[in-house]
Structure 1
Amino acid sequence: MNAVRSTAGATIRVAGVLSPRLGAAVALPLFGHVARPRAVHADDRSTMDRARRSSIRIPGLDRRGVDVTVYEWGAGPDAVVLAHGWTGRASQFATLVRELVAEGFRVVAFDAPAHGDTAGRGTYLVDWTDILAQLAHRYGRLRAVVGHSFGGLAALVATAHGLDVDRAVTIAAPGDPDLLLAQFQAMLGFDDRTAAALRARFARRYFPGETDPFARLSPLQQSLTAAVPLLAVHDETDPVVPFGELARIAAVHPDARVVVTRGFGHNRLLTADPVLDAVVAFVSEDRPDRAVTRDERGTVRRRG
């Protein structure tokens, strides 16, 4: 993989020296490309096997239509939707699924295009927001949307754009799409002129008529209303999304509740007890008592 990345970066850099537009043309197909889906963790298979599977159709990045795999557990009237991150999959939420179902929630997750069991080779943020909108249409007003990493960014954007939801949770989320472009540039090592040309080419290709779609897709410029409480979680040792992104999100959402952890990194946050406890408590807060007894809830098994 490193050799492929090195070759791709060298090709973009050479093309960019000749012309930033040429470099951008080479880089664009790689920007939304998704690596081979990760495998389902052995500890999560039983939870995924118990899911009720269905699908929803969204336009997809190329607007040709994509059938997205959807998973559902529980039968409560309050639906909580879980949005995984880039190169992630629904199964990463298995521990949280068990926690929420035990509390009487209906839990819904999905594999975005080119992720998990959903077909495709490329995707971008609009696919996540389209999926969230479709799920809100299917289940009615959502009790909460919980997004990890890129999925957390999507949760913020969708909610800011009017997603019918009571509460929002981000876990290790970037503050806006510009970070993703900056990380892509750093990973492949091309210059700022090529990056600017890539940004413009991306906008023309996928958002014709919009001068700056990145601004529209930035929760730092379009924040949630005060009517939608926000819980933002991040780990100080996150090697993927810089910890400083939490402060950027909190700065434009001053009423947000913030949970800071240390030592869980980027993905292990999803199975960390402090995070699970915080998310379940936040989602359950001010919820009418469903009169579910402890015996009916059963025992929840956490990984690790």
Structure 2
Amino acid sequence: MQKALTYIITKLFGLYINILGYISPKKATKLAYRFFSEPRSGRLVKEQLPDVLQQAHAEMVTHGDFIFPMYTWEGNDNKVLLVHGWESNASRWEELITHLKRSGSTIIALDAPAHGLSSGIEFNIPRYAEFIDVVVKKFRPNYMVGHSVGGATILYYQSHYTNDAIEKMVVLGAPCDLNTLLTNYAGMLNLNSNAFLLLKNHFFERFRIKADEFSGSLFASKIKVKGLLAHDLNDTVVSYSEGKKIAEAWPAAEFITTKGLGHSMHDEKLYNRIYSFLFDK
């Protein structure tokens, strides 16, 4: 019953945007973009942090008009930066952190814009990359691990910022093309061609991003460091084909196909493989 109600509400919302697109294009664009960019879960309450985050040293960082938390599990001079995905937060790394601690490394994680304890209501990859750059400049991590949109963000980051401190990258279940995300979003709401074009134009006007050119495969093609990519055949959130496109464009990356892990990619065997990739010489 709840699923049916959600489906009906979603389609009615899309119909409203379609109609508004002809009457007031600016309002329609603002509404469509806000629904696309505003996460509806993944927030945390400071007084009720998950145990794994309570065990870390937490620091609130100011970046322009934004504030975001940076969590550090102290260790040796080897440093690993963990970058979570959409509607999640730094606590999603709890299982992987347990594995990484065996290496004695210092582990760092952050909350994305509008996630966890970070300020704001809007998420976008360029701003997330700015947050990452603040952390990278402070810690100069050797390795970065990103899941889902976090994986797409570290691809964007390393292709645009090209930080020479980064030696290896791990990307799990990442989407490749912004155009695919927008197309899926438009399909979910049944947006017509006019509303879809308004949304695409918004990305260019605000971020100077052409949706057809904002691609993980394009970002990956510019990355020289070693990579480990993993994507699950049964991922119903981000298609397996998205991972393959990134892998084909990144010559220095190894591509692992998993089955039965879904989008979360939580798995003992996979985490051991990540450990070996990062720390075995």
Question: What TM bracket, shorter-length normalisation?
Answer: 0.7 to 0.9
Normalised by the size of structure 1, how large is the TM-score? 0.82
Q: Which residue of 1 aligns with 2:16?
A: 11
Tell which deviates more after alignment, 188-197 or 142-151.
188-197
Q: Report what 1:292 is aligned to.
A: none
Q: Is the 8 A contact 2:21 2:29 kept in 1?
A: yes
Structure 1 CA distance for aligned equivalents of residues 42 and 36 of structure 2: 16
Q: Which runs of 5+ in 1 are unaligned?
A: 60-64, 287-304
Aligned to 2:50: 45
1:178 and 2:153 are equivalent in the alignment? no
Q: How does 1:187-206 map to 2 (within 5 A)?
A: 187-204=188-205, 206=206
The 3 A distance-change label for structure 1 pair 106 and 240 is same
* 1:243-282 matches, cutoff 5 A: 243-267=240-264, 269=265, 271-282=266-277
- Aligned pairs (5 A) from 1:100-249: 100-140=100-140, 142-161=141-160, 162-164=162-164, 165-204=166-205, 206-207=206-207, 210=208, 212-214=209-211, 217-225=214-222, 227-249=224-246
Does residue 66 of structure 2 align to residue 58 of structure 1? no
RMSD over equivalenced CA pairs, Å = 2.3
- Return closer, same or farther for 1:195/1:109 CA change in 2, 3 Å cut-off: same
Deviating more after overlay: 157-166 vs 145-154:
157-166
Other structure's SS at 1:197 match = helix
Q: Normalized against structure 2, the TM-score is what?
A: 0.88
SS at match of 1:77: strand
Q: CA deviation at 1:264?
A: 1.0
For the structure 1 residues 131 and 250, does the alpha-carbon distance in structure 2 shift closer, same or farther, using more than 3 Å as the test?
Answer: same
| CA displacement 1:186-227 (0-9 Å, x = unmatched) | 2211023321221112321x22xx3x4446643322335563
Paired with 2:142 and 2:30, the residues of 1 have a C-alpha distance of 42
Counterpart of 2:51, as a letter, is: S
Larger helix proportion of the pair = 2
What is the Cα deviation at residue 105 of structure 1? 1.0
- Whether the 8 Å CA contact 1:16–1:190 is kept in 2: the answer is no
Secondary structure, aligned partner of 2:34: helix
The change in CA–CA distance for 1:5 and 1:130 in structure 2 (over 3 A counts) is: same
Give distance in 1, aligned partners of 2:101 and 2:10: 41
Aligned length: 271
* Letter matched to residue 198 of structure 1: L
Amino acid at match of 2:146: G
**Deviation string for 1:143-165 (max 9, x for gaps)?**
11110000000011111121331
Quote the offset at 1:110 in angstroms. 0.9
User: Is 1:68 aligned to residue 65 of structure 2?
Assistant: no
Percent of pairs identical after alignment?
Answer: 25
CA contact (8 A) 2:111 2:117 kept: yes
| Structure 2 counterpart of 1:79 | 79
For residues 224 and 73 of structure 1, the distance between their equivalents in structure 2, rounded to whole angstroms, comes to 32
Q: Secondary structure at the match of 1:130?
A: helix
- CA 1:19–1:264: 2 relative to 1, 3 Å: same
CA distance in 2, matches of 1:38, 1:25: 23
Quick check: 1:58–1:127 contact (8 Å CA) kept in 2? no
Q: Deviations over 1:74-120 (max 9, x none)?
A: 32111111111110111010111121122111111111121112232
